[in-house]
Each structure stands twice: as C-alpha cells, then as structure tokens.
Amino acid sequence: MPVPRYLTTDETAELLRTPKGTLAQWRYRGVGPKYSKTEGKVLYSEDHVHKYMRDREHVPSARANVEARLVHL
C-alpha cells in the first residue's frame, strides 16, 4: 500500500494555483479540500486535493449537449 503524501499550505496553494490566504479562508468557512492539523501545522493529503479538483470538473455546455445526443441514439 503506497504511503500517502502530505502537502504544506504553500505546496497546496501552488498546486491549486490559489493564494495561501484563500486556503485559510476556505478552512475557516469549512470549504475546500480536506486537511489535517497537527501541532499547529496544516497538511493536505495530495490524494484529497486531487479528488477535490476532480469533483469540480465541468464539461463545457456544447460538448455536454453533443454527448447527451449521442447517448440517446
């Protein structure tokens, strides 16, 4: 079983291309990727960050319409 990789706030912000302050706001508001806090240090599971992004993927409207029509053929 692979050992999970944990990212710092800096690494997570870079991966998500968002400011560190935004991550802090998300934690305060209870949104954003899951995180762990130990001894005052915030860490994000790399797997959870990737899942957070996958869960927010959208298909462009035009493509979704074409795919929906193909399903009904």
Q: What average pLDDT does the segment 5-13 reach?
A: 97
**Mean model confidence pLDDT for the chain:** 89
Please work out, in degrees rounded to the nearest 5, the angle formed at the alpha carbon of residue 59 by the alpha carbons of 4 and 57.
Answer: 20
Q: Is the pLDDT score of 73 beyond 60?
A: no
pTM for this model (two decimals): 0.76
Amino acid 41 reads K
pLDDT digits (tens, 9 = 90+) for 39-68: 999 999 999 999 999 999 887 777 667 766
pLDDT of residue 57: 86
User: What pLDDT was estimated at residue 64?
Assistant: 67
